[in-house]
């Protein structure tokens, strides 16, 4: 694997344009992200590299080249995610990549693949996103880390605020993001949750990046840290993907050409992070016309053969379908 060379300013002295890729793939009931280790940093990182205005005609061309060289993976579906440019967000990546003193602007991209294919790059691997955010998967109920680790730490952080107004503001924010005191859990707020943990000084990155105005108290069990602000970028991609489920049939970019409805439901649940109601989900699929049966059957171990379906991609081109309904399975349903 070729490491990223020192980032060179692109266009202005002291300004560096970098490219970051968040690439998701699905396998059964798990969503994995493509990561690389040892690319200009010993920490786990997303594939990244500098934009070379002389070599790369577009950002996307540069991104595809960096992903290919660092991991051996050929990008398929990709869309621009966000531009990350906050001052100080690049630390310590800028120094590690040879751009001390430079301001790093990263253009993030979201990519989707139907399977976690074998990688050729040394240090490249697929990692479940729960490795970085153990509080995001509610398919088996509310994760223990929320009740046993995060909630007590956040309540301490709330109590440390100076004055009742500041404490009330902290409480309202923590309650809304982490569903304290019976507040509803909003799956699309993955980025808000990570940023709150960072601001409260509870994740390892906060201690690594702390300055005189930020005193961190990192605690165990809050996921694996990543290089620079890559965990923030990854959380942004999770929030985007969860939101897109509801207005675009993007989940089918993670599915093989043929699939059973049970396989589709498991992938949807893995993205949303909660179990969905089987009958209501299938009724919504029928109404939307997303899929059609092929008449072919897949043998199931210990069960009846299941019909294989395909995504009606032509329906999207005609504007017949929008998002995918994800009816949440209620407790005891």
Residue 28 belongs to a domain: yes
Rounded to whole angstroms, how far apart are CA atoms 191 and 237?
8
Query: Is the predicted pLDDT of residue 118 greater than 70, yes or no?
Result: yes
In terms of domains, do 179 and 206 share one? yes
Count Cβ atoms below 10 Å from residue 331 Cβ, excluding itself. 7
pLDDT score at 90: 54
Residue 332 belongs to a domain: no
Cis amide prior to 119 (ω within 30 degrees): no
In terms of domains, do 168 and 96 share one? no
Rounded to whole angstroms, how far apart are CA atoms 254 and 33?
12
Tell me which range, 1-15, 109-123, 186-200, is most confidently predicted by mean pLDDT: 186-200
Higher pLDDT, 144 or 11: 144
Residue 116 belongs to a domain: yes
What is the per-residue pLDDT across 9-35, written as a single tens digit (0 to 9) for each? 444 456 778 888 999 999 878 999 999
Of 67, 84, 85, 86, the closest CA to residue 76 belongs to 67
Domain of 102, CATH number, reads: 3.90.79.10
pLDDT score at 9: 40
Tell me which range, 65-74, 118-127, 179-188, 221-230, is most confidently predicted by mean pLDDT: 179-188
Residue 166 belongs to a domain: yes
Higher pLDDT, 76 or 96: 76
Query: Is the predicted pLDDT of residue 8 greater than 90, yes or no?
Result: no
pLDDT score at 329: 83
Higher pLDDT, 59 or 319: 59
Rounded to whole angstroms, how far apart are CA atoms 217 and 227?
19
Q: How far apart are the first and last CA of the chain?
A: 49
Query: Is the predicted pLDDT of residue 212 greater than 50, yes or no?
Result: no
Give me the number of domains the chain comprises. Answer: 3
Higher pLDDT, 261 or 298: 261
In terms of domains, do 29 and 78 share one? yes
Helix, strand counts (H, E) of the chain: 11, 9
Rounded to whole angstroms, how far apart are CA atoms 99 and 97?
6
Higher pLDDT, 308 or 101: 308
In terms of domains, do 166 and 206 share one? yes
Rounded to whole angstroms, how far apart are CA atoms 287 and 271?
22
Note down the domain range covering 29: 15-128
Beta-strand runs (E) in the chain: 15-27, 30-37, 44-45, 48-50, 77-84, 103-113, 124-128, 291-298, 306-311
Dig out the tokens for 71 from the structure: 């991991």
In terms of domains, do 153 and 204 share one? yes
pLDDT score at 11: 43
In terms of domains, do 78 and 151 share one? no
In terms of domains, do 297 and 254 share one? yes
What is the per-residue pLDDT across 147-167, written as a single tens digit (0 to 9) for each? 999 999 999 999 999 999 999
Of 70, 95, 128, which residue sits at a domain end?
Answer: 128
Residue 333 belongs to a domain: no
Query: Is the predicted pLDDT of residue 207 greater than 70, yes or no?
Result: yes
Dig out the tokens for 286 from the structure: 């029928």
Query: Is the predicted pLDDT of residue 170 greater than 90, yes or no?
Result: yes
In terms of domains, do 179 and 278 share one? no
Residue 148 belongs to a domain: yes
pLDDT score at 46: 92
Give this prediction's pTM: 0.87
In terms of domains, do 107 and 27 share one? yes
Give mean pLDDT, residues 168-197.
96
Cα distances (angstroms) measured from residue 80 to each of 59, 156, 270: 9, 38, 22
Residue 230 belongs to a domain: no
Residue 197 belongs to a domain: yes
Which single residue is written with the structure tokens 């960072």?
198
Query: Is the predicted pLDDT of residue 128 greater than 60, yes or no?
Result: yes
In terms of domains, do 83 and 42 share one? yes
Dig out the tokens for 173 from the structure: 């924010």
In terms of domains, do 106 and 154 share one? no
The alpha carbon of 44 is separated from its chain's Cα centroid by a whole number of angstroms, namely 14
User: If pLDDT is split at 50, 70 and 90, which confidence band does 39 have?
Assistant: low
What is the per-residue pLDDT across 64-77, written as a single tens digit (0 to 9) for each? 888 888 888 888 88
Count Cβ atoms below 10 Å from residue 166 Cβ, excluding itself. 12
Cα distances (angstroms) measured from residue 106 to each of 19, 138, 155, 251, 278: 5, 31, 34, 26, 40
pLDDT score at 333: 44
pLDDT score at 82: 86
Cα distances (angstroms) measured from residue 110 to each of 47, 221, 232: 11, 27, 13
Is the separation of the CB atoms in 206 and 218 below 8 Å? yes
């Amino acid at each position: 694997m070729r490491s990223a060379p020192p980032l060179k300013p692109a266009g202005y002295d002291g300004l560096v344009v970098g490219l970051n890729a968040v690439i998701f793939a699905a396998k059964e009931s798990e969503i994995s992200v493509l990561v690389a280790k040892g690319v200009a940093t010993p920490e786990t990182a997303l594939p990244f590299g500098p934009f070379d205005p002389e070599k790369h005609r577009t950002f996307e061309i540069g991104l595809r080249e960096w992903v290919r060289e660092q991991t051996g993976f050929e990008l398929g579906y990709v869309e621009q995610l966000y531009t990350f440019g906050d001052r100080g967000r690049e630390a310590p990546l800028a120094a590690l990549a040879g751009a001390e003193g430079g301001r790093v602007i990263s253009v993030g991209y979201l990519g989707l693949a139907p399977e976690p294919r074998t990688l050729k790059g040394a240090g490249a691997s697929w990692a479940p996103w729960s490795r970085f955010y153990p509080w995001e998967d509610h398919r088996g109920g509310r994760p223990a880390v929320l009740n046993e680790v995060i909630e007590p730490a956040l309540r301490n952080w709330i109590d440390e605020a100076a004055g009742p107004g500041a404490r009330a503001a902290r409480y309202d924010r923590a309650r809304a993001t982490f569903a304290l005191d019976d507040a509803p859990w909003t799956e699309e707020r993955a980025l808000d949750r990570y940023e709150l943990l960072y601001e409260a000084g509870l994740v390892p990155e906060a201690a690594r990046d702390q300055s005189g105005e930020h005193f961190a108290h990192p605690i165990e069990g809050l996921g694996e840290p990543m290089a620079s602000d890559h965990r923030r970028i990854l959380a942004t991609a999770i929030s985007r993907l969860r939101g897109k489920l509801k207005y675009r049939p993007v989940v089918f970019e993670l599915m093989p050409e043929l699939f059973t409805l049970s396989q589709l439901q498991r992938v949807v649940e893995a993205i949303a992070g909660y179990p969905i109601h089987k009958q209501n989900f299938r009724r919504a699929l029928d109404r939307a016309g997303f899929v059609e049966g092929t008449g072919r059957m897949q043998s199931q171990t210990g069960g009846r053969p299941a019909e294989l379906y395909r995504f009606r991609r032509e329906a999207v081109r005609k504007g017949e379908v929008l998002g995918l309904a994800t009816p949440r399975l209620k407790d005891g349903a």
